[in-house]
Amino acid sequence: MKAQIINRYGKHVALQTAELPIPEMHDDDVLVQIHAAGVNPLDSKIRSGEFKLLLPYRFPLILGNEAAGVVIRVGPQVRRFKVGDEVYARPHQDRIGTFAEFISMSEGDVAIKPKKLSMEEAASIPLVGLTAWQALIERADLKQGQKVLIHAGSGGVGTFAIQLAKHLGATVATTTSTANVDLVKSLGADVVIDYRKDEFEKVLRDYDVVLNSLGKDTLAKSLAVLKPGGKLISISGPPDPDFAKDLELGWMLRQVMRFLSYGIRRQAKRHCVNYSFLFMRANGDQLGEITSLIDSGIIRPVVDRIFPFESTKEAIAYLEKGHAKGKVVIKVI
């Protein structure tokens, strides 16, 4: 099969097209022919080696963390899917590799593709959808009438999270650029902060939840927005001790995580709020819930550009510029 690979870590390492064997299957796996794959900042972070201590991948490494396609083979223990099913998924973090023609995944990580969506649209959903779900529903326990600030509302996670938060009955504020104000309002944002004109931390007060996907300066400023007892959830770091515990990391790495997050955890404690780092995990059941929301018309995908498979490195470069509205997708078939 054709795949887009790297042979070493590095921020500017170029992807190469290679011929590799079709992935081997476990008894509870489904083999999926990939039609489209979503591109995410996580792909760039993995390529640069940012997670090499936590996720020790082997080379050659196929990048890519979400996909949509068709099941072409099932393992003997698979009960939820059959050959011919149209599915989408975020594969387990240890088994990434959606920038390829085929991928083998545990059936527990896979869900039936929303009927209303094309393969390209479906491929834009799993990673950002699960991130928003696990941040707002699992971690934040967001309730009707609460207030949430979602940073970078026009980005991949932001466009999904705004819609999910509105579905949950929350008042939603978001930050974005002037060019994207209308987009985030169309998704349901109640309060829009144009970061080119206003400083969000001087405008917003008494919020219950902040979902951060930006840098450490934005993270620290977000503390001022939260009420006592509020929750600051970051998907861009720094990782905290609970994250290290969830990954069952060794003592040394746990201390590293403790050190990296010490500053923001101390500031959060001073503000009487809770800080936590979220590294989204694969979950086919949650993705099935997301499918229902999409097929019901509650959430719609936002796709900025679709690149051909042979232009995967250009797709990543485009996303890295930071101007994409919603998701960037690669069309494999």
Hey, where are the domains in the chain? 2-124+301-331, 127-277
Q: Given the structure tokens 């009927």, which residue do they identify?
A: 115
From the list 15, 22, 6, the residue with the least C-alpha distance to 61 is 6
Burial of 114-138, coded b for 16+ CB within 10 Å and e otherwise, reads beebbbbbbbbbbbbbbbbbbbbee
From the list 55, 54, 61, the residue with the least C-alpha distance to 23 is 61
| Sheet containing 191-194: order of strands | 191-194, 171-176, 147-150, 207-212, 226-234, 274-277
pLDDT of 246 reads 83
Please state, in angstroms and rounded to a whole number, the distance separating the CA atoms of residues 75 and 146.
44
pLDDT of 232 reads 98
Contact status, residue 37 vs residue 98, Cβ threshold 8 Å = yes
pLDDT of 56 reads 86
Please state, in angstroms and rounded to a whole number, the distance separating the CA atoms of residues 52 and 58.
10
Q: Superfamily assignment of 2-124+301-331 in CATH?
A: Medium-chain alcohol dehydrogenases, catalytic domain (3.90.180.10)
Amino acid making up residue 18: A
Inter-CA distances, 239 with 41, 279, 327, Å: 16, 8, 25
pLDDT of 43 reads 97
User: Helix, strand or coil for residue 54?
Assistant: coil
Q: Given CA atoms 153, 159, 160, 163 in this order, what sign does their dihedral have?
A: positive
pLDDT of 247 reads 80
Write out the CATH class of domain 127-277: alpha beta
Contact status, residue 89 vs residue 124, Cβ threshold 8 Å = no
H or E element at residue 35: strand 29-39
| Sheet containing 61-62: order of strands | 16-19, 2-6, 61-62
Contact status, residue 140 vs residue 168, Cβ threshold 8 Å = no
The beta-carbon contacts of 304-313 under 8 Å, at least 24 apart in sequence, are 304/328, 305/329, 306/36, 306/120, 306/330, 306/331, 307/39, 307/331, 309/2, 309/4, 309/99, 310/17, 312/4, 312/15, 312/39, 312/99, 313/4, 313/14, 313/15
Contact status, residue 38 vs residue 120, Cβ threshold 8 Å = no
Q: Which two tokens stand for residue 123?
A: 């491929």
H or E element at residue 257: helix 251-260
pLDDT of 313 reads 95
Amino acid making up residue 145: G
pLDDT of 327 reads 98
Residues in Cβ contact with 202 at an 8 Å cutoff, skipping those fewer than 6 apart: none
Positions of the chain with pLDDT lower than 50, given as ranges: none
Q: Given the structure tokens 């990954």, which residue do they identify?
A: 247
Contact status, residue 92 vs residue 284, Cβ threshold 8 Å = no
Residues in Cβ contact with 312 at an 8 Å cutoff, skipping those fewer than 6 apart: 4, 15, 39, 99, 330
pLDDT of 53 reads 83
